[in-house]
Amino acid sequence: MPTFADHVIASLKASGVRRLYGLPGDSLNGLTDAIRRDGDVDWVHVRHEESAAFAAAAEAGLTGELTVCVGSCGPGNLHLVNGLFDAQRSRVPVLAIAAQIPAGEIGSGYFQETRPQELFADCSVYAEAVTSPEHGARVLEMAMRAAVERRGVAVVVVPGEIFLGRTGRDLAPTVVRPARTVVRPDDADLREAAALLNDGQKVTILAGAGAAGAHDDLVRLAETLKAPVVHALRGKEYVEYDNPYDVGMTGLLGFASGYKAIEEADTLLMLGTDFPYRQFYPRGAKVVQLDIRGEQIGRRTHVDLPLVGSVRDTLPALLPLLTVKSGRGHLDEALAHYARTRRSLDALAVNDRERTPIHPQFVARTLDRLADRDAVFTVDVGSPVVWAARYLTFNGHRRLLGSFNHGTMACALPHAVGAQAAYPGRQVVSLSGDGGLTMLLGELFTLRQNRLPAKIVVFNNGSLNFVELEMKAAGIVNYATELDNPRLAEVAAAVGLWARRVERPGDLEDALKGAFAHDGPALVEVMTARQELSVPPAVTVEQAKGFTLYAIRTILSGRGEELLDLVTTNVARRVLR
Interval 242-297: pLDDT, tens: 999 999 999 888 889 999 999 999 999 999 999 999 999 999 999 999 999 999 99
Determine the pLDDT at residue 537.
Answer: 60
pLDDT tens digits for 374-407?
999 999 998 999 999 999 999 999 999 999 999 9
Annotated catalytic residue within 41, 105, 112, 543:
112
Q: Is 381 an annotated catalytic residue? A: yes
Q: Is 4 an annotated catalytic residue? A: no
Determine the pLDDT at residue 25.
Answer: 97
Determine the pLDDT at residue 539.
Answer: 54
Mean pLDDT across the stretch 475-487?
A: 91
pLDDT of 168 over the 90 cut = no
**Residue 577 and residue 573: Cα distance in Å, rounded?**
6
pLDDT of 41 over the 50 cut = yes
Let me know how long the chain is: 577
- Which of these, 4, 13, 62, 63, lies nearest to 33 by C-alpha position? 4
Alpha helices in 227-347 (DSSP H): 236-239, 256-263, 311-318, 329-347
**Residue 542 and residue 391: Cα distance in Å, rounded?**
28
- Which of these, 227, 228, 235, 272, lies nearest to 253 by C-alpha position? 235
Determine the pLDDT at residue 564.
Answer: 45
Task: Please say whether the beta carbons of 239 and 211 come within 8 A.
Answer: yes
Helix 256-263 with 329-347: angle, nearest 10 deg: 160
pLDDT of 535 over the 60 cut = no
Q: Is 112 an annotated catalytic residue? A: yes
**Residue 531 and residue 565: Cα distance in Å, rounded?**
7
pLDDT of 571 over the 90 cut = no
- Which of these, 274, 461, 269, lies nearest to 383 by C-alpha position? 461
Which amino acid is it at 295? Answer: E
What percentage of the chain reaches a pLDDT higher than 70? 92
* Sheet of 399-402, strand order: 399-402, 376-379, 428-433, 455-460, 522-527, 498-502
What confidence category does residue 464 fall into, taking pLDDT thresholds of 50, 70 and 90?
Answer: confident
SS (H, E, C) 372-428: CCCCEEEECCCHHHHHHHHHCCCCCCCEEEECCCCCCCCCHHHHHHHHHHHCCCCCE
Cis peptide before 357 (omega within 30 of 0): yes
| β-pair partners for 229 | 205, 246
Task: Please say whether the beta carbons of 577 and 569 come within 8 A.
Answer: no
**Residue 111 and residue 223: Cα distance in Å, rounded?**
64
**Residue 271 and residue 213: Cα distance in Å, rounded?**
12
**Residue 351 and residue 14: Cα distance in Å, rounded?**
52
Q: Is 155 an annotated catalytic residue? A: no
**DSSP-based three-state secondary structure for 165:** coil
**List of domains in the chain:** 4-163 (3.40.50.970), 187-340 (3.40.50.1220), 351-576 (3.40.50.970)
**Residue 512 and residue 492: Cα distance in Å, rounded?**
15
Q: How far is CA 136 from CA 5, 65, 88, 200, in A?
A: 10, 22, 23, 55
**Phi, psi of 70, rounded to the nearest 5 degrees:** -140, 140
Annotated catalytic residue within 54, 394, 404, 466:
466
The vertex-231 CA angle with 362 and 383, nearest 5°, equals 35
Q: Is 111 an annotated catalytic residue? A: yes
Task: Please say whether the beta carbons of 398 and 377 come within 8 A.
Answer: yes
Mean pLDDT across the stretch 492-506?
A: 97
